[in-house]
Structure 1
């Protein structure tokens, strides 16, 4: 599936009948190029073009597996700013600094699985995994593209039973 096909398939899925797999289906308005640039500047990490496309062409969170993609956190209109991608990233750095934990600032927590479960994107390798609190990451996909594609074909990507 090409990136364009993935974007179209995502739009079709959100517009179609509900999936048997629990998912969020209410996208927030897409981010603007200026909002994306603000986010990129704040995290200062290499981000894949597909991540930019889904946030700019589908929506700023509110859609996708389980409770859906988190909003980026650059608009200031989030109900719970700490629950945004930027809020999770900033909060993680503060928490790690406070306890002198391993630096994981290269991880973006981008999709909410409920409670303290998140899908994380590793900006150094491109892999996507599932994280439950402080538990080790269960790597599920070799790329963001693969992760989205697996969700689109019906895999439960927010399950600990689906390693890559």
Structure 2
């Protein structure tokens, strides 16, 4: 799917689900300042052209408090600050995008132009090994959602635990 097709599908989803109105450029700029990296272009377009949160398989966290919370976090900056807690040890630029429930999250790498997707699942081993790349860009990941191939629960192609994990 092209970026324009993904945007059109996200726009239709936002309308059908009565999601928040699109964000404004100042909202994007504020999140980019908090993260310290520019938002991947497609993600920026979805927020600005479709909805300020709620899109995607589990409902992306809004850039600002829209009154509709799609996680325990009011907005994306709050989710990012919570995840940059030293206990989690996330690399800089990884941003929690969607709360998958049960402490699992889909994250996006702001340092990559195509928005490489990551998984946070502390149930597979331990918090030290909860983070793993998915090997998918945001466009591929969103296409999986729209095509109905996004898995519920843990991602099946992830290793259950690191070989050197004492809990695995």
- For normalisation by structure 1, the TM-score amounts to 0.75
Tell me the residue number matched to 2:78: 87
Residue pairs, 1:67-82, within 5 angstroms: 68-73=59-64, 75=65, 82=73
CA distance 1:103–1:160, shift in 2 (3 Å): closer
Matched, 1:116 2:116: no
Mean Cα deviation higher: 116-125 or 77-86 = 77-86
- Aligned counterpart, 2:121: 132
Residues 4, 14 of structure 1: alpha-carbon distance in 2 compared, 3 angstrom cutoff: same
Equivalents in 2 of 1:147, 1:36: separation in Å? Answer: 21
Q: Contact conserved, 1:60 with 1:71, CA < 8 A, in 2?
A: yes
Structure 1 counterpart SS, 2:56: strand
Partner of 2:5 in structure 1? Answer: 5
Q: Residue 140 of structure 2 corresponds to which residue in structure 1?
A: 146
Unaligned regions of 5+ residues in structure 1, if any? 17-24
In the aligned structure 2, how far is the partner of 1:157 from the partner of 1:106?
25
4+ residue runs over 3 A deviation: 12-16, 75-83, 161-164
Normalising by structure 2, we get a TM-score of 0.74
Query: In structure 1, how many angstroms separate the alpha carbons of the residues matched to 2:101 and 2:90?
Result: 24
Q: Distance in 2 between matches of 1:161 and 1:106?
A: 22
- 8 Å contact 1:139–1:163 — kept in the other structure? no
Tell me the distance in 1 between the aligned counterparts of 2:153 and 2:90.
25
Structure 2 gap ranges (5+): 159-168
Find the residue that maps to 2:119 and give its secondary structure. Answer: strand
Moved more, 141-150 or 75-84: 75-84
CA distance in 1, matches of 2:119, 2:152: 7
How far off is 1:123 after superposition?
2.6
